[in-house]
Amino acid sequence: MAMHLWRRAWNVLRQTPGGPVSGAVTRAQAAVSSTQNPPSVTAAASASRSFAGDAKIAYETPAFKGHKTDVPTTKVETSGKELMGFFRTMFLMRRMEIAADAMYKQKFVRGFCHLYDGQEAVCVGMEAALNEKDCIITSYRDHCTHVGRGGTVYEVFAELMGRKDGCSLGKGGSMHMYNKKGGFFGGNGIVGAQTALGAGLAFAQKYLKVEGVTMAMYGDGAANQGQLFEAMNISALWDLPVIYVCENNHYGMGTAEWRSAKSPCYYKRGDYIPGMQVDGMDCMAVKQAVKFAKAYALKKGPFVLEFDTYRYHGHSMSDPGSTYRTRDEIKAIREGRDCIEKIRRIILKHKVATEKELKEIEKGAKKEVEDALAKAKNAPLPDPPELFTNIFVKSCGALVRLSPIACKRTLYIKIVIHDWLYRCFWSMDMNALEYFILVSLSLAFLYFAEVVVLNCSRMELIARR
Ligand SMILES: Cc1ncc(C[n+]2csc(CCOP(=O)(O)OP(=O)(O)O)c2C)c(N)n1
Ligand SMILES: [Mg+2]
Protein backbone atom coordinates (compact mmCIF):
# COMPACT_ATOMS: atom_id res chain seq x y z
CA MET A 1 0.00 0.00 0.00
CA ALA A 2 2.75 2.40 1.03
CA MET A 3 4.67 1.58 -2.17
CA HIS A 4 1.54 2.18 -4.20
CA LEU A 5 0.99 5.55 -2.56
CA TRP A 6 4.61 6.47 -3.13
CA ARG A 7 4.48 5.58 -6.79
CA ARG A 8 1.36 7.70 -7.29
CA ALA A 9 2.91 10.59 -5.40
CA TRP A 10 6.11 10.32 -7.44
CA ASN A 11 4.14 10.33 -10.69
CA VAL A 12 2.31 13.50 -9.66
CA LEU A 13 5.57 15.21 -8.82
CA ARG A 14 7.06 14.13 -12.12
CA GLN A 15 4.03 15.33 -14.05
CA THR A 16 4.26 18.78 -12.52
CA PRO A 17 6.19 20.73 -15.13
CA GLY A 18 9.06 23.13 -14.45
CA GLY A 19 6.27 25.24 -13.03
CA PRO A 20 4.60 28.39 -14.15
CA VAL A 21 7.52 30.46 -13.01
CA SER A 22 9.73 29.25 -15.81
CA GLY A 23 6.88 29.63 -18.29
CA ALA A 24 6.17 33.11 -17.07
CA VAL A 25 9.81 34.08 -17.28
CA THR A 26 10.06 33.06 -20.92
CA ARG A 27 6.94 34.96 -21.80
CA ALA A 28 8.03 37.91 -19.75
CA GLN A 29 11.44 38.00 -21.38
CA ALA A 30 9.66 38.29 -24.68
CA ALA A 31 7.52 41.01 -23.16
CA VAL A 32 10.56 42.94 -22.01
CA SER A 33 12.12 42.90 -25.42
CA SER A 34 8.82 44.03 -26.84
CA THR A 35 8.55 46.72 -24.15
CA GLN A 36 11.65 48.28 -25.57
CA ASN A 37 10.10 47.99 -28.98
CA PRO A 38 6.35 47.42 -28.52
CA PRO A 39 4.79 45.63 -31.47
CA SER A 40 1.92 48.04 -31.82
CA VAL A 41 4.14 51.09 -31.79
CA THR A 42 6.58 49.47 -34.19
CA ALA A 43 3.78 48.74 -36.59
CA ALA A 44 2.56 52.29 -36.25
CA ALA A 45 6.04 53.62 -36.79
CA SER A 46 6.51 51.64 -39.96
CA ALA A 47 3.08 52.73 -41.09
CA SER A 48 4.09 56.31 -40.50
CA ARG A 49 7.49 56.06 -42.16
CA SER A 50 6.13 57.57 -45.32
CA PHE A 51 4.57 60.41 -43.34
CA ALA A 52 6.10 63.33 -41.50
CA GLY A 53 8.49 61.00 -39.58
CA ASP A 54 10.76 62.69 -37.06
CA ALA A 55 10.06 66.29 -38.08
CA LYS A 56 9.11 68.39 -35.03
CA ILE A 57 5.49 69.45 -34.58
CA ALA A 58 4.56 72.12 -32.02
CA TYR A 59 1.73 71.09 -29.73
CA GLU A 60 -0.09 72.96 -27.01
CA THR A 61 -1.46 70.75 -24.24
CA PRO A 62 -4.44 71.70 -22.07
CA ALA A 63 -3.42 73.56 -18.89
CA PHE A 64 -2.13 71.80 -15.77
CA LYS A 65 -3.22 72.67 -12.24
CA GLY A 66 -0.63 72.27 -9.51
CA HIS A 67 -0.76 71.69 -5.79
CA LYS A 68 2.42 72.62 -3.93
CA THR A 69 4.36 72.51 -7.18
CA ASP A 70 5.10 74.51 -10.30
CA VAL A 71 3.59 73.06 -13.43
CA PRO A 72 5.39 72.17 -16.66
CA THR A 73 4.97 74.19 -19.83
CA THR A 74 2.00 73.43 -22.04
CA LYS A 75 4.08 74.09 -25.16
CA VAL A 76 5.58 70.77 -26.18
CA GLU A 77 7.01 69.18 -29.28
CA THR A 78 5.98 65.96 -30.90
CA SER A 79 6.62 64.25 -34.23
CA GLY A 80 4.58 62.59 -36.91
CA LYS A 81 6.02 59.26 -35.88
CA GLU A 82 4.96 59.73 -32.27
CA LEU A 83 1.46 60.87 -33.20
CA MET A 84 0.99 57.89 -35.51
CA GLY A 85 2.23 55.58 -32.76
CA PHE A 86 -0.29 57.04 -30.31
CA PHE A 87 -3.08 56.76 -32.85
CA ARG A 88 -2.46 53.15 -33.69
CA THR A 89 -1.84 51.94 -30.15
CA MET A 90 -4.95 53.64 -28.79
CA PHE A 91 -7.02 52.39 -31.70
CA LEU A 92 -5.72 48.86 -31.14
CA MET A 93 -6.59 49.05 -27.44
CA ARG A 94 -10.08 50.33 -28.20
CA ARG A 95 -10.74 47.51 -30.67
CA MET A 96 -9.42 45.00 -28.15
CA GLU A 97 -11.85 46.23 -25.50
CA ILE A 98 -14.78 46.24 -27.91
CA ALA A 99 -13.92 42.67 -28.91
CA ALA A 100 -13.64 41.68 -25.22
CA ASP A 101 -17.14 43.07 -24.69
CA ALA A 102 -18.50 40.92 -27.53
CA MET A 103 -16.61 37.86 -26.27
CA TYR A 104 -18.09 38.32 -22.83
CA LYS A 105 -21.60 38.56 -24.22
CA GLN A 106 -21.01 35.35 -26.18
CA LYS A 107 -19.86 33.70 -22.93
CA PHE A 108 -16.29 33.06 -24.10
CA VAL A 109 -15.18 35.19 -21.15
CA ARG A 110 -16.57 34.43 -17.70
CA GLY A 111 -16.33 36.11 -14.33
CA PHE A 112 -15.42 39.76 -13.96
CA CYS A 113 -14.51 42.03 -16.84
CA HIS A 114 -13.82 45.77 -16.62
CA LEU A 115 -13.20 47.63 -19.85
CA TYR A 116 -10.89 50.61 -20.39
CA ASP A 117 -12.23 52.19 -23.57
CA GLY A 118 -12.25 55.97 -23.25
CA GLN A 119 -9.23 56.01 -20.93
CA GLU A 120 -6.58 54.87 -23.45
CA ALA A 121 -4.71 58.21 -23.50
CA VAL A 122 -3.66 57.71 -19.87
CA CYS A 123 -2.04 54.37 -20.56
CA VAL A 124 -0.41 55.36 -23.85
CA GLY A 125 0.71 58.83 -22.74
CA MET A 126 2.23 57.39 -19.57
CA GLU A 127 4.24 54.78 -21.46
CA ALA A 128 5.67 57.53 -23.68
CA ALA A 129 7.40 58.99 -20.61
CA LEU A 130 8.41 55.75 -18.91
CA ASN A 131 10.97 53.06 -19.60
CA GLU A 132 11.59 49.43 -18.62
CA LYS A 133 13.03 50.41 -15.23
CA ASP A 134 9.71 51.93 -14.19
CA CYS A 135 6.96 49.81 -12.66
CA ILE A 136 3.21 50.02 -12.98
CA ILE A 137 0.62 48.56 -10.67
CA THR A 138 -3.06 49.16 -11.27
CA SER A 139 -6.60 48.11 -10.48
CA TYR A 140 -8.78 45.49 -12.15
CA ARG A 141 -9.24 47.75 -15.23
CA ASP A 142 -5.98 46.43 -16.58
CA HIS A 143 -6.22 44.96 -20.11
CA CYS A 144 -4.74 47.96 -21.88
CA THR A 145 -2.02 48.42 -19.28
CA HIS A 146 -0.74 44.97 -20.20
CA VAL A 147 -0.55 45.93 -23.88
CA GLY A 148 1.00 49.30 -23.00
CA ARG A 149 3.73 47.50 -21.07
CA GLY A 150 4.69 45.52 -24.14
CA GLY A 151 2.29 42.60 -23.80
CA THR A 152 0.25 41.37 -26.75
CA VAL A 153 -3.45 41.46 -27.54
CA TYR A 154 -3.29 37.68 -27.86
CA GLU A 155 -2.01 37.32 -24.26
CA VAL A 156 -4.91 39.46 -23.06
CA PHE A 157 -7.56 37.44 -24.92
CA ALA A 158 -5.97 34.15 -23.88
CA GLU A 159 -6.03 35.32 -20.26
CA LEU A 160 -9.64 36.46 -20.52
CA MET A 161 -10.64 33.03 -21.83
CA GLY A 162 -8.57 31.15 -19.26
CA ARG A 163 -6.11 29.73 -21.82
CA LYS A 164 -2.58 28.61 -20.98
CA ASP A 165 -0.97 31.30 -23.16
CA GLY A 166 -2.60 34.07 -21.12
CA CYS A 167 -0.22 36.54 -19.47
CA SER A 168 -1.10 34.99 -16.11
CA LEU A 169 -1.18 31.46 -17.57
CA GLY A 170 -4.96 31.60 -17.78
CA LYS A 171 -5.36 31.60 -14.00
CA GLY A 172 -5.95 35.28 -13.36
CA GLY A 173 -8.60 36.39 -15.82
CA SER A 174 -9.61 39.94 -16.55
CA MET A 175 -8.61 41.48 -13.22
CA HIS A 176 -5.20 39.88 -12.94
CA MET A 177 -3.08 40.59 -15.98
CA TYR A 178 0.57 40.41 -14.90
CA ASN A 179 4.02 40.70 -16.41
CA LYS A 180 6.76 41.06 -13.85
CA LYS A 181 9.60 41.23 -16.35
CA GLY A 182 7.79 44.01 -18.19
CA GLY A 183 7.50 45.91 -14.90
CA PHE A 184 3.76 45.34 -14.69
CA PHE A 185 2.61 44.11 -11.28
CA GLY A 186 -1.07 43.60 -12.04
CA GLY A 187 -4.18 43.72 -12.06
CA ASN A 188 -5.61 44.01 -8.44
CA GLY A 189 -9.21 43.32 -7.47
CA ILE A 190 -9.30 44.95 -4.07
CA VAL A 191 -10.07 48.63 -4.48
CA GLY A 192 -7.04 50.72 -3.48
CA ALA A 193 -4.89 47.76 -2.40
CA GLN A 194 -2.40 48.39 -5.17
CA THR A 195 -1.47 51.81 -3.79
CA ALA A 196 0.22 50.28 -0.75
CA LEU A 197 1.83 47.61 -2.94
CA GLY A 198 3.03 50.43 -5.19
CA ALA A 199 4.77 52.07 -2.24
CA GLY A 200 6.45 48.70 -1.63
CA LEU A 201 7.62 48.49 -5.23
CA ALA A 202 9.05 52.01 -4.98
CA PHE A 203 10.79 51.03 -1.77
CA ALA A 204 12.40 48.12 -3.63
CA GLN A 205 13.50 50.43 -6.45
CA LYS A 206 15.12 52.82 -3.99
CA TYR A 207 16.69 50.02 -1.96
CA LEU A 208 18.09 48.32 -5.05
CA LYS A 209 19.20 51.69 -6.46
CA VAL A 210 17.15 51.23 -9.64
CA GLU A 211 16.76 54.52 -11.48
CA GLY A 212 13.00 54.07 -11.93
CA VAL A 213 9.67 55.09 -10.46
CA THR A 214 6.48 53.19 -9.66
CA MET A 215 3.16 54.35 -11.05
CA ALA A 216 0.57 53.30 -8.44
CA MET A 217 -2.75 53.72 -10.23
CA TYR A 218 -6.18 53.90 -8.66
CA GLY A 219 -9.63 55.30 -9.38
CA ASP A 220 -11.57 58.19 -7.94
CA GLY A 221 -13.56 55.68 -5.86
CA ALA A 222 -10.34 54.30 -4.35
CA ALA A 223 -9.11 57.83 -3.63
CA ASN A 224 -11.20 57.88 -0.45
CA GLN A 225 -9.62 54.74 0.97
CA GLY A 226 -7.58 54.80 4.16
CA GLN A 227 -4.78 52.63 2.84
CA LEU A 228 -3.95 55.23 0.20
CA PHE A 229 -3.18 57.76 2.93
CA GLU A 230 -1.09 55.24 4.85
CA ALA A 231 0.89 54.54 1.68
CA MET A 232 1.31 58.26 1.02
CA ASN A 233 2.51 58.88 4.55
CA ILE A 234 5.21 56.23 4.54
CA SER A 235 6.35 57.05 1.01
CA ALA A 236 6.68 60.75 1.91
CA LEU A 237 8.57 59.89 5.10
CA TRP A 238 10.98 57.70 3.15
CA ASP A 239 11.08 59.80 -0.08
CA LEU A 240 10.05 56.82 -2.17
CA PRO A 241 10.01 57.27 -5.97
CA VAL A 242 6.30 56.60 -6.35
CA ILE A 243 3.75 58.48 -8.42
CA TYR A 244 0.19 58.06 -7.20
CA VAL A 245 -1.94 58.15 -10.33
CA CYS A 246 -5.63 58.82 -9.81
CA GLU A 247 -7.57 57.97 -12.94
CA ASN A 248 -10.58 60.12 -12.28
CA ASN A 249 -13.29 58.78 -14.58
CA HIS A 250 -15.81 60.49 -12.27
CA TYR A 251 -17.63 57.34 -11.17
CA GLY A 252 -16.89 54.54 -8.72
CA MET A 253 -19.26 51.84 -9.97
CA GLY A 254 -22.57 53.74 -10.12
CA THR A 255 -21.59 56.45 -7.65
CA ALA A 256 -20.68 59.87 -9.02
CA GLU A 257 -17.62 61.49 -7.48
CA TRP A 258 -19.66 64.32 -5.93
CA ARG A 259 -21.64 61.75 -3.93
CA SER A 260 -18.58 59.94 -2.56
CA ALA A 261 -15.95 62.65 -2.08
CA LYS A 262 -16.18 65.80 0.02
CA SER A 263 -13.24 67.12 -2.00
CA PRO A 264 -13.00 65.71 -5.51
CA CYS A 265 -9.73 67.60 -6.09
CA TYR A 266 -7.82 64.36 -6.00
CA TYR A 267 -4.53 65.98 -6.98
CA LYS A 268 -4.60 67.84 -3.65
CA ARG A 269 -5.41 64.78 -1.58
CA GLY A 270 -1.76 64.04 -0.87
CA ASP A 271 -1.80 67.13 1.38
CA TYR A 272 1.96 67.46 1.96
CA ILE A 273 2.69 65.62 -1.33
CA PRO A 274 2.74 67.81 -4.43
CA GLY A 275 0.16 67.03 -7.06
CA MET A 276 -1.07 68.00 -10.48
CA GLN A 277 -4.36 67.80 -12.34
CA VAL A 278 -4.05 66.82 -15.98
CA ASP A 279 -6.39 66.35 -18.94
CA GLY A 280 -6.31 62.55 -19.15
CA MET A 281 -7.94 62.54 -22.59
CA ASP A 282 -4.88 64.17 -24.12
CA CYS A 283 -1.96 61.85 -24.75
CA MET A 284 0.63 64.63 -24.96
CA ALA A 285 -0.57 66.23 -21.72
CA VAL A 286 -0.29 62.87 -19.97
CA LYS A 287 3.22 62.37 -21.35
CA GLN A 288 4.35 65.84 -20.30
CA ALA A 289 2.88 65.43 -16.79
CA VAL A 290 4.46 62.01 -16.26
CA LYS A 291 7.84 63.28 -17.44
CA PHE A 292 7.61 66.12 -14.93
CA ALA A 293 6.39 63.93 -12.07
CA LYS A 294 9.03 61.29 -12.77
CA ALA A 295 11.86 63.80 -12.60
CA TYR A 296 10.45 65.04 -9.29
CA ALA A 297 9.88 61.58 -7.80
CA LEU A 298 13.39 60.36 -8.63
CA LYS A 299 14.90 63.32 -6.80
CA LYS A 300 12.49 64.12 -4.01
CA GLY A 301 9.88 61.40 -3.45
CA PRO A 302 6.16 60.89 -4.03
CA PHE A 303 3.97 62.90 -6.37
CA VAL A 304 0.23 62.75 -7.12
CA LEU A 305 -1.18 62.93 -10.64
CA GLU A 306 -4.91 63.21 -11.23
CA PHE A 307 -5.96 62.39 -14.78
CA ASP A 308 -9.36 63.71 -15.76
CA THR A 309 -10.71 60.92 -17.94
CA TYR A 310 -13.89 58.99 -18.79
CA ARG A 311 -14.95 55.39 -19.30
CA TYR A 312 -17.43 54.71 -22.08
CA HIS A 313 -18.56 51.29 -20.90
CA GLY A 314 -20.29 50.63 -17.61
CA HIS A 315 -18.23 49.80 -14.53
CA SER A 316 -18.15 46.11 -15.45
CA MET A 317 -20.11 43.82 -17.71
CA SER A 318 -23.11 43.70 -15.39
CA ASP A 319 -23.46 47.48 -15.56
CA PRO A 320 -25.06 48.98 -18.68
CA GLY A 321 -23.49 52.28 -17.58
CA SER A 322 -26.53 54.40 -18.35
CA THR A 323 -28.61 54.38 -15.17
CA TYR A 324 -26.51 56.83 -13.14
CA ARG A 325 -25.41 59.06 -16.01
CA THR A 326 -27.21 60.24 -19.11
CA ARG A 327 -26.58 59.06 -22.64
CA ASP A 328 -26.10 62.71 -23.54
CA GLU A 329 -23.20 62.96 -21.10
CA ILE A 330 -21.46 59.98 -22.70
CA LYS A 331 -22.17 61.33 -26.20
CA ALA A 332 -20.80 64.75 -25.32
CA ILE A 333 -17.50 63.28 -24.13
CA ARG A 334 -17.22 61.03 -27.16
CA GLU A 335 -17.80 63.94 -29.48
CA GLY A 336 -15.85 66.60 -27.66
CA ARG A 337 -12.96 64.92 -25.83
CA ASP A 338 -12.29 61.46 -27.25
CA CYS A 339 -8.55 60.78 -27.13
CA ILE A 340 -8.32 58.94 -30.46
CA GLU A 341 -10.34 61.51 -32.35
CA LYS A 342 -8.20 64.27 -30.89
CA ILE A 343 -4.99 62.69 -32.22
CA ARG A 344 -6.70 61.99 -35.54
CA ARG A 345 -7.52 65.71 -35.89
CA ILE A 346 -3.93 66.73 -35.14
CA ILE A 347 -2.52 64.18 -37.59
CA LEU A 348 -4.80 65.49 -40.32
CA LYS A 349 -4.17 69.13 -39.43
CA HIS A 350 -0.41 68.70 -39.73
CA LYS A 351 -0.77 66.49 -42.79
CA VAL A 352 1.10 63.69 -41.09
CA ALA A 353 -1.20 61.25 -42.86
CA THR A 354 -4.34 61.36 -44.96
CA GLU A 355 -7.76 60.05 -43.92
CA LYS A 356 -7.25 57.11 -46.25
CA GLU A 357 -3.93 56.25 -44.64
CA LEU A 358 -5.49 56.40 -41.18
CA LYS A 359 -8.23 54.05 -42.38
CA GLU A 360 -5.51 51.63 -43.48
CA ILE A 361 -3.99 51.74 -40.01
CA GLU A 362 -7.41 51.11 -38.47
CA LYS A 363 -7.87 48.13 -40.79
CA GLY A 364 -4.49 46.73 -39.73
CA ALA A 365 -5.33 47.10 -36.03
CA LYS A 366 -8.73 45.45 -36.51
CA LYS A 367 -7.06 42.54 -38.26
CA GLU A 368 -4.53 42.18 -35.45
CA VAL A 369 -7.39 41.98 -32.95
CA GLU A 370 -9.36 39.50 -35.04
CA ASP A 371 -6.33 37.24 -35.53
CA ALA A 372 -5.47 37.35 -31.83
CA LEU A 373 -9.05 36.48 -30.97
CA ALA A 374 -9.23 33.54 -33.35
CA LYS A 375 -5.91 32.21 -32.04
CA ALA A 376 -6.97 32.62 -28.40
CA LYS A 377 -10.26 30.78 -28.98
CA ASN A 378 -8.30 27.78 -30.23
CA ALA A 379 -5.57 27.95 -27.61
CA PRO A 380 -5.39 25.05 -25.13
CA LEU A 381 -6.56 25.29 -21.54
CA PRO A 382 -3.91 25.03 -18.80
CA ASP A 383 -2.78 21.48 -17.98
CA PRO A 384 -4.56 20.02 -14.93
CA PRO A 385 -1.40 19.95 -12.74
CA GLU A 386 -1.38 23.75 -13.08
CA LEU A 387 -4.16 23.66 -10.51
CA PHE A 388 -1.51 23.08 -7.91
CA THR A 389 1.04 25.66 -8.93
CA ASN A 390 1.17 29.33 -7.90
CA ILE A 391 -0.81 28.51 -4.78
CA PHE A 392 0.29 28.71 -1.21
CA VAL A 393 0.72 25.22 0.21
CA LYS A 394 3.32 25.05 2.88
CA SER A 395 3.34 21.95 4.98
CA CYS A 396 0.19 21.32 7.00
CA GLY A 397 0.27 24.75 8.55
CA ALA A 398 -1.46 26.05 5.48
CA LEU A 399 -4.55 23.94 5.11
CA VAL A 400 -6.05 26.81 3.20
CA ARG A 401 -6.73 26.01 -0.44
CA LEU A 402 -6.20 22.26 -0.02
CA SER A 403 -9.05 19.95 -0.86
CA PRO A 404 -11.28 19.08 2.12
CA ILE A 405 -10.18 15.43 1.72
CA ALA A 406 -6.52 16.36 2.08
CA CYS A 407 -7.31 18.53 5.09
CA LYS A 408 -9.15 15.70 6.82
CA ARG A 409 -6.41 13.19 6.13
CA THR A 410 -3.54 15.33 7.34
CA LEU A 411 -5.53 16.29 10.42
CA TYR A 412 -6.22 12.64 11.13
CA ILE A 413 -2.52 11.74 10.88
CA LYS A 414 -1.63 14.57 13.22
CA ILE A 415 -4.13 13.41 15.80
CA VAL A 416 -2.88 9.80 15.65
CA ILE A 417 0.75 10.86 16.09
CA HIS A 418 0.01 13.25 18.91
CA ASP A 419 -2.00 10.57 20.63
CA TRP A 420 0.86 8.09 20.23
CA LEU A 421 3.40 10.56 21.64
CA TYR A 422 1.20 11.31 24.58
CA ARG A 423 0.85 7.62 25.41
CA CYS A 424 4.61 7.03 25.02
CA PHE A 425 5.34 9.85 27.37
CA TRP A 426 3.19 8.46 30.17
CA SER A 427 3.73 4.76 29.71
CA MET A 428 7.46 4.54 29.04
CA ASP A 429 10.18 5.21 31.45
CA MET A 430 12.34 7.46 29.22
CA ASN A 431 15.16 9.82 29.90
CA ALA A 432 15.33 13.26 28.22
CA LEU A 433 17.57 12.11 25.34
CA GLU A 434 15.34 9.14 24.51
CA TYR A 435 12.31 11.38 24.58
CA PHE A 436 14.04 13.93 22.30
CA ILE A 437 14.89 11.19 19.78
CA LEU A 438 11.32 9.89 19.87
CA VAL A 439 9.87 13.35 19.23
CA SER A 440 12.31 14.03 16.37
CA LEU A 441 11.49 10.71 14.70
CA SER A 442 7.78 11.36 15.09
CA LEU A 443 8.05 14.79 13.52
CA ALA A 444 10.04 13.40 10.62
CA PHE A 445 7.41 10.72 10.13
CA LEU A 446 4.66 13.31 10.33
CA TYR A 447 6.32 15.38 7.61
CA PHE A 448 6.79 12.33 5.40
CA ALA A 449 3.15 11.30 5.87
CA GLU A 450 1.95 14.79 5.01
CA VAL A 451 3.88 14.86 1.75
CA VAL A 452 2.43 11.49 0.75
CA VAL A 453 -1.14 12.45 1.65
CA LEU A 454 -0.99 15.81 -0.06
CA ASN A 455 0.38 14.40 -3.28
CA CYS A 456 -2.10 11.53 -3.33
CA SER A 457 -4.91 14.03 -2.89
CA ARG A 458 -3.55 16.08 -5.76
CA MET A 459 -3.47 12.95 -7.89
CA GLU A 460 -7.05 12.12 -7.02
CA LEU A 461 -8.23 15.61 -7.92
CA ILE A 462 -6.44 15.47 -11.24
CA ALA A 463 -7.86 12.05 -12.04
CA ARG A 464 -11.39 13.27 -11.29
CA ARG A 465 -11.23 16.13 -13.80
C1 LIG B 1 -12.04 47.10 -0.72
C2 LIG B 1 -13.09 46.99 -1.77
N3 LIG B 1 -14.28 47.61 -1.57
C4 LIG B 1 -15.24 47.53 -2.52
C5 LIG B 1 -15.04 46.84 -3.67
C6 LIG B 1 -16.11 46.77 -4.74
N7 LIG B 1 -15.76 47.67 -5.83
C8 LIG B 1 -15.18 47.21 -6.93
S9 LIG B 1 -14.83 48.42 -8.01
C10 LIG B 1 -15.46 49.61 -7.02
C11 LIG B 1 -15.46 51.05 -7.47
C12 LIG B 1 -14.10 51.64 -7.62
O13 LIG B 1 -14.18 52.81 -8.40
P14 LIG B 1 -12.92 53.60 -8.86
O15 LIG B 1 -11.87 53.51 -7.82
O16 LIG B 1 -13.37 54.95 -9.25
O17 LIG B 1 -12.35 52.80 -10.12
P18 LIG B 1 -13.00 52.63 -11.57
O19 LIG B 1 -13.81 51.38 -11.53
O20 LIG B 1 -13.81 53.83 -11.87
O21 LIG B 1 -11.85 52.47 -12.50
C22 LIG B 1 -15.94 49.05 -5.85
C23 LIG B 1 -16.57 49.82 -4.78
C24 LIG B 1 -13.79 46.19 -3.83
N25 LIG B 1 -13.50 45.48 -4.93
N26 LIG B 1 -12.84 46.30 -2.89
MG1 LIG C 1 -13.76 55.78 -11.10
Per-residue pLDDT of 134-149, as tens digits, reads 999 999 999 999 999 9
Residue 450 has pLDDT above 80, yes or no: no
CA 413 / ligand 2 centre spacing (Å): 50
Ligand 1, pocket-test mutation among 113, 145, 253, most atoms within 8 A of CB? 253
Please indicate, yes or no, whether residues 357 and 392 belong to a single structural domain of this protein.
no
Give pLDDT, residue 9. Answer: 32
Please indicate, yes or no, whether residues 307 and 442 belong to a single structural domain of this protein.
no
Give pLDDT, residue 412. Answer: 72
pLDDT in tens, 69-110: 999 999 999 999 999 999 999 999 999 999 999 999 999 999
pLDDT band at 266; cut points 50, 70, 90: very high
251 CB less than 6 Å from ligand 1? yes
253 CB less than 6 Å from ligand 1? yes
275 CB less than 6 Å from ligand 1? no
Please indicate, yes or no, whether residues 51 and 91 belong to a single structural domain of this protein.
yes
For residue 346, give Cα distances in angstroms to 61, 234, 320, 360: 12, 42, 32, 17
pLDDT in tens, 194-234: 999 999 999 999 999 999 999 999 999 999 999 999 999 99
Give pLDDT, residue 14. Answer: 35
pTM for this prediction: 0.78
Find which of 33-37, 363-367, 410-414 is predicted with most confidence, using mean pLDDT. 363-367
CA 100 / ligand 2 centre spacing (Å): 20
Q: Which residue has the higher pLDDT, 279 or 27?
A: 279
Give pLDDT, residue 178. Answer: 97
Please indicate, yes or no, whether residues 390 and 301 belong to a single structural domain of this protein.
no
Asked if residue 101 belongs to a domain, the reply is yes
pLDDT in tens, 40-59: 433 333 444 445 578 899 99
Please indicate, yes or no, whether residues 231 and 320 belong to a single structural domain of this protein.
yes
What is the C-alpha end-to-end distance of the chain, expressed in Å?
24
* Spatial distance between the Cα atoms of 118 and 105, rounded to a whole number of angstroms: 20
149: domain range?
39-382
Please indicate, yes or no, whether residues 172 and 243 belong to a single structural domain of this protein.
yes
Please indicate, yes or no, whether residues 199 and 269 belong to a single structural domain of this protein.
yes
Ligand 1 atom, smallest distance to 222 CA: 15
Percent of the chain whose pLDDT exceeds 70 = 82
- Identify the domain boundary among 382, 397, 412: 382
Asked if residue 170 belongs to a domain, the reply is yes
Please indicate, yes or no, whether residues 138 and 191 belong to a single structural domain of this protein.
yes
Asked if residue 34 belongs to a domain, the reply is no
Please indicate, yes or no, whether residues 309 and 439 belong to a single structural domain of this protein.
no
For residue 166, give Cα distances in angstroms to 94, 369, 377: 19, 15, 11
219 CB less than 6 Å from ligand 1? yes
259 CB less than 6 Å from ligand 1? no
Q: Which residue has the higher pLDDT, 453 or 175?
A: 175
- Beta-bridge partners for 76: 59
Give pLDDT, residue 405. Answer: 59
Asked if residue 22 belongs to a domain, the reply is no
Please indicate, yes or no, whether residues 199 and 342 belong to a single structural domain of this protein.
yes
Q: Give SS3 for 424.
A: helix
Q: Specify the pairing of strand 242-248 against strand 135-137.
A: unpaired
pLDDT band at 406; cut points 50, 70, 90: low
- The ligand placed nearest to the CA atom of residue 141 is 1
Q: Which residue has the higher pLDDT, 401 or 304?
A: 304
- The ligand placed nearest to the CA atom of residue 254 is 1
Quick one: which of 187, 258, 251 has its CA closest to 221?
251
Give pLDDT, residue 394. Answer: 53
- Nearest residue by C-alpha to atom 3 in ligand 1: 191
- Identify the domain boundary among 382, 413, 441: 382
For range 281-304, the mean pLDDT: 98
Give pLDDT, residue 424. Answer: 73
CA 311 / ligand 2 centre spacing (Å): 8
Kindly report the CATH number assigned to the domain that includes residue 97.
Answer: 3.40.50.970
The domain total for the chain is 2
Ligand 1 atom, smallest distance to 193 CA: 1
257 CB less than 6 Å from ligand 1? no
Q: Which amino acid is at 220?
A: D
- Identify the domain boundary among 382, 410, 432: 382
Asked if residue 75 belongs to a domain, the reply is yes
CA 191 / ligand 1 centre spacing (Å): 5
Please indicate, yes or no, whether residues 273 and 390 belong to a single structural domain of this protein.
no
Average pLDDT, the chain: 85
Per-residue burial over 396-410, b if 16 or more Cβ lie within 10 Å, else e, is: beeeeebeeebbebb
Give pLDDT, residue 392. Answer: 65
Phi, psi dihedrals of residue 160, rounded to the nearest 5°:
-60, -35
141 CB less than 6 Å from ligand 1? yes
In this structure, of 133-147, 149-163, 209-223, 418-432, the range with the lowest mean pLDDT score is 418-432
Asked if residue 94 belongs to a domain, the reply is yes
Q: Which amino acid is at 274?
A: P
For residue 239, give Cα distances in angstroms to 138, 277, 396: 21, 21, 41
CA 254 / ligand 2 centre spacing (Å): 9
CA 63 / ligand 2 centre spacing (Å): 22
Asked if residue 151 belongs to a domain, the reply is yes
Give pLDDT, residue 341. Answer: 98
Please indicate, yes or no, whether residues 372 and 397 belong to a single structural domain of this protein.
no
307 CB less than 6 Å from ligand 1? no
- Beta-bridge partners for 276: 66, 305
Asked if residue 29 belongs to a domain, the reply is no
